[in-house]
Amino acid sequence: MSKLDFKTGIYAVQYRNSILKELFRKSIHLCSAFIPTLLDFAYWPVIILLSCALIFYSIAELLRMKGISIPVVSKITAVAARKRDENKFVLGPVTLVIGILISAFLWEPEFYRIGIYSLAFGDGLASLFGKLFGRIPIPLANGKTVAGSLTCFIAVYISSFCVCMNAPIALILGVTAMLIEVIPMLDFDNICIPVFIGGLSQFLINGSF
């Protein structure tokens, strides 16, 4: 085997592992799409469970940083962590839950549904499709691609329309979510997208926050 073939093989394995890691991470995002339905059936129990999960995860991460591994949780974190998160507190799950909780507290059910769907489908699919099909990078966007941003727009447009049944408003929400997603905010887009899109949808439809 030539040195070029060996390097190509290494890059292929690294790319495959990167895709599998991203698929695992974004499956967590996609699962958050079930939360609005759960909130409809049992609002406060779900809020309490999410809050407890947030606290438990944060404690587990702090312990992991000190070299104390928590069964299952620490393993999942290690598998899902990006390269930039190595030897650091993995913030993604924290901001994900915080974004959902703030949206559920601030907005009416129809609108926190739109916000959480935007996070689950828009942000969740953007990164995955960007890695799979992204060929054109967006300047100053920290590696984000045109394919990923368009995926975010389409996903938020469709999910918002399915909730509000208003094409112009869904279009505005899709464009807005795409613009938020393209800003390199590390993991804090997990908060900005559901909170801002949920609030914007409530403003556009009801005319008030």
- pLDDT tens-digit map of 105-122: 999 999 999 999 999 999
pLDDT band at 191 (very low <50, low <70, confident <90, very high): very high
Please list the helix, strand and coil fractions of the chain in percent, rounded to the nearest 5, in that order: 80, 0, 20
pLDDT at 68: 81
Backbone phi, psi, residue 141, to 5°: -110, 15
pLDDT given at position 184: 81
> What is the reported pTM?
0.86
Quote the tokens at residue 136.
């054109």
Q: How far is Cα of residue 203 from the mean position of the Cα atoms in its chain?
A: 23
DSSP structure string for 20-31 = HHHHHHHHHHHH
pLDDT for 152 equals 94
What is the pLDDT of the chain when averaged over all its residues? 84
Q: What is the pLDDT of residue 128?
A: 78
- DSSP classification of residue 152: H
> How many residues in the chain?
209
Q: Which long-range contacts (CB under 8 A, 24 or more apart) does 132-140 make?
A: 132/19, 138/182, 140/184
Is residue 116 within 8 Å of residue 32, measured between CB atoms?
yes
CA distance linking residue 61 with residue 129, whole number of Å: 28
Going by pLDDT thresholds of 50, 70 and 90, the confidence category of residue 197 is very high
Q: What pLDDT sits at residue 45?
A: 97
Tell me the per-residue pLDDT of 148-159, one tens digit each, with 9 for 90 and over: 899 999 999 999
Taking the mean position of all CA atoms in its chain, how far away is CA 171? 20
Contact by Cβ (8 Å): 155, 190 = no
Q: Exposed, middle or buried: residue 6 (CB in 10 Å: 0-12, 13-18, 19+)?
A: exposed
| Residue % of the chain over a pLDDT of 90 | 50
What's the mean pLDDT in 53-80?
81
* 3-state secondary structure (DSSP) of residue 68: coil
Give the range among 31-45, 97-111, 174-188 with minimum mean pLDDT. Answer: 174-188
